[in-house]
Structure 1
Amino acid sequence: MHTRSRRPTAELPELGPGVTLVDVDDELGVTPVQALLLDRVLSSDSPAFWVDGANRANTSRLRELAPADRVLDRIKVARGFTAHQHTSLLDRLAGRLAIRESPSVVVATGLDGMYRAADVDSELAEQMFIRAIASVARVGRVHDVPVIVTRCREDEFSRPLRRAAATKLHCRKTPFGPRFEDASGDVETLVYHTEDGWIQTTLEYWCEVLEHRVRMHETSTAERAVATPGVQ
């Protein structure tokens, strides 16, 4: 499939502080969430934390998307394989961030996944799930940063996560590439430009957008250095 030579002008969604729930069409996998994660890391000098509860933390794809390997040094990834492990990870993360550092972004993929498993009874699983939601929401509130969450299924069990989210986005697959929409479906925040007749693959497009973010960040950093006396 051909790629366009023109650099993209579209931007990834600007994420505000608090919980943002992102639903992604199955065909797109975790790539859109990884793009949002990298976009935040590239626009900040603070670390990012990714807690996975659904075996979605594909670090190989993350490395393909990153414009430079050094960016990956600021992303910390942890996986929970049981409900108890997952809850413990989120509790430890909230405690660590309360003491040591502020993140650029926190990502929790498949937040409901471990609590649907058979290793805990349904009542306890629901309680632990609510606790997990409270942990990530607290991080966003205390540090005034975006917290990106995804869910395995949209149903009655995951409804508390929907209620806790200040923002909801849906990344849909289209004939021309991925498209983010807000909850109403009215706002398209990332689209392919098709006026030149060229179409490119999803991964290549994410890479193009993230490279564009790098250039914007480097320009902004250089301008701040010029404007600040004594900065080399």
Structure 2
Amino acid sequence: MTTTRSNGSLYTHIENHIATLEFGHLASNSFPSELLDRLTKAIDTLSKDSSVYVIILKSEGEKAFCAGASFDELISIINLEEGKQFFSGFANVINAMRKCKQPIIGRIQGKTVGGGVGLASACDYCMATEAASIKLSELTIGIGPFVIEPAVSRKIGLAAFEALAWDASQWKNAYWAKDQGLFSRVFETISELDKEVQLFAEKLASYNPKAIQAMKEVNWKGTAHWKELLIERAAVSGELVLSELTKKALEKFKK
């Protein structure tokens, strides 16, 4: 299914204790504010659902997993409050994923940029295809990957984060991402990926839910301060996106 909605789409399907969250947007599965807000609320709702033991996070189509922030919305930001509010959308999703009681499996079928790398990093376990190259391109448009940095650094380490963030125009392939710990397994085809994601989700769903929840809490220990930290980082990005350099860079990229 491919969305035709300008604000994107989000579908939730629950079967055999496994919830599948699928987001989509015409612009390479990028995120406008409304879609970020809907995803945050969907994760919070699933977290409270005792019948759900595992969550699969995926995006529509067979190309990009996620192109990050909506360019159209970035260009339209006219003041600091709007900027902070927009980037807080990514902060809220990451915090929802962090606090979610169930483990989240990331199904990464294609290229992933910026905030998409943040989403993948906030998953508890990621599987990908060989096409799932990653890039943190924020510096090229005059901002930086500030909101997602804690999640990315926690997952792959500061050195690997710096390799991505400073070299903002270069893609790193799926096997590099696997070597750094972002992806746990990489497959040649999407059909193989889907098969293994489903099998893995079924395994997790068969384990003691209380043990799974306790495991999640242990893995995310020491991140409670992210509630404030990520919003502070959103304010930094919100200010930078107003600069003339960034506005020009965004227009150039859009063209």
Q: TM-score range by the shorter chain?
A: 0.3 to 0.5
Higher helix share: 2
Higher relative contact order (CA 8 A, sep 6+): 1
TM-score, normalised via structure 2 length: 0.38
TM-score, normalised via structure 1 length: 0.41
